[in-house]
Amino acid sequence: MTDFDDDTLPFDEFDIAPARLTIDLVALADNWREMADLSGNASTAAVVKADAYGLGLEDCGTALYEAGARDFFVAVVQEGVTLRTYAPDARIYVLSGVWPGQEGTFYEHGLVPVLVSEEQLSFWMAVTAEHGDHPCALHIDTGFNRLGIPLEDALAFADDVSRPASFSPVLVLSHLHSGDTPSSSFNRQQLESFQKVAAAYEGIPASLAASSGIMLGSEYHFDLTRPGIAVYGGEAVGGVSNPMRPVAKAEARIIQIRSAKTGETVSYGGTHRLTRDSRLAIVAAGYADGYKRSLSGSGVPIRDSIHEGGFGFIAGHRVPVVGRVTMDLTIFDITDVPERDVRTGDYIELFGPNMPLDDVARAAGTIGYELLTSLGLRYERRYLYADE
């Protein structure tokens, strides 16, 4: 057996990885600044839950902190603990609130629980009465019927003089369920409900708008906005051109290029039958890498309603997925790409600057959020910084 010294290897791991992911932190920071500009007089937070939408909490959190973000939202307490290392003086809100046994972690790491129910509210008041003042936020349900203290209960609590002096909300917030559809009447209904909340909690900052809400206009901005998907390059509002810069590019390496004859079938089930002599590129990514099985060119139920499957991009050409996407492999038809322009070892872009994230998501019958947060562990990652 031969021992290899890593220092003598001729290639960077990224250059030879089966699947790779490029994350442009400059674009990420620029997108956050754009959302801050759109937020007008409101302060602008950064939502970094779900490992910064699948792109890496440490690197993305650091880039956003260095861009000027000082308010962050995470989903669970451990995300907040991790982020604290990279955002030392930021205010970090935990959207799922607090459970008994976690209170010490909130105090130790300076995290702010977003109290999402009357049970959490009662628990946190008891905690602060015993252990001293610690900031919290109140999530009010204005019509989503997901998390949140019921509107009428929240309005009554605002006037409750019996709450302990150690109980210190630093934010009241709610969430729009149809912000991505500007024409929806629900947006106005929720806005009017939240205006009552903001008035009842006068003097406490208020937050209603995530990415799509920011784009609804200044009425929705209040004191703090909470952009998420737009910061990562995704569409926040349906049916309009996406103004955000792409942040992530996913690519898969071509393992083999093979020729197949008219009439032959491709992939599991033989659901795709070739209508011409074809060249097929088999690439090293599949549904285990978050490249959805529903992107298959045939053989999956979604093709009955969304007839066109997924596409990749290589050498200036969009190339279709043929047959079923499998766990580790996907097959693209590269017949229309000149043979001189593509060879084994090259990379096909799965989504990125040439294959917009949300276009790929639509072909899969889903949304960009899901594609990003479904990225597996097998991508070799490269982060692009301002000096590169």
Query: Where in the sequence numbering do the catalytic residues fall?
Result: 49, 268
The CA distance from 181 to 339, in Å, is: 44
Q: Is there a binding annotation on residue 125?
A: no
Q: Give the 3-state DSSP-derived string for 200-256, with helices as H, strands as E and coil as C.
A: HCCCCCEECCEHHHHCCCHHHCCCEEECCHHHHCCCCCCCCCCCCCCCEEEEEEEEE
The CA distance from 248 to 28, in Å, is: 9
Burial class of residue 202 in the structure, from the number of CB atoms within 10 Å of its CB (0-12 exposed, 13-18 middle, 19+ buried): exposed
The CA distance from 180 to 176, in Å, is: 9
The CA distance from 253 to 251, in Å, is: 7
DSSP 8-state code for residue 301: G
Q: Give the 3-state DSSP-derived string for 53-89, with helices as H, strands as E and coil as C.
A: HCCCHHHHHHHHHHHCCCEEEECCHHHHHHHHHHCCC
DSSP 8-state code for residue 357: H
Quick check: helix, strand or coil at residue 108? helix
Among residues 108, 147, 114, 142, which one has the least CA distance to residue 45? Answer: 114
Distance of CA 102 to the CA centre of its chain: 26
CA angle, residues 251, 352, 177, in degrees to nearest 5: 125
Is the Cβ–Cβ distance between 173 and 138 less than 8 Å? yes
Q: Is there a binding annotation on residue 327?
A: yes
CA angle, residues 331, 51, 65, in degrees to nearest 5: 125
Quick check: helix, strand or coil at residue 27? helix
Q: Which residues are annotated as a binding site for substrate?
A: 146, 327
Q: Which residues are annotated as a binding site?
A: 146, 327
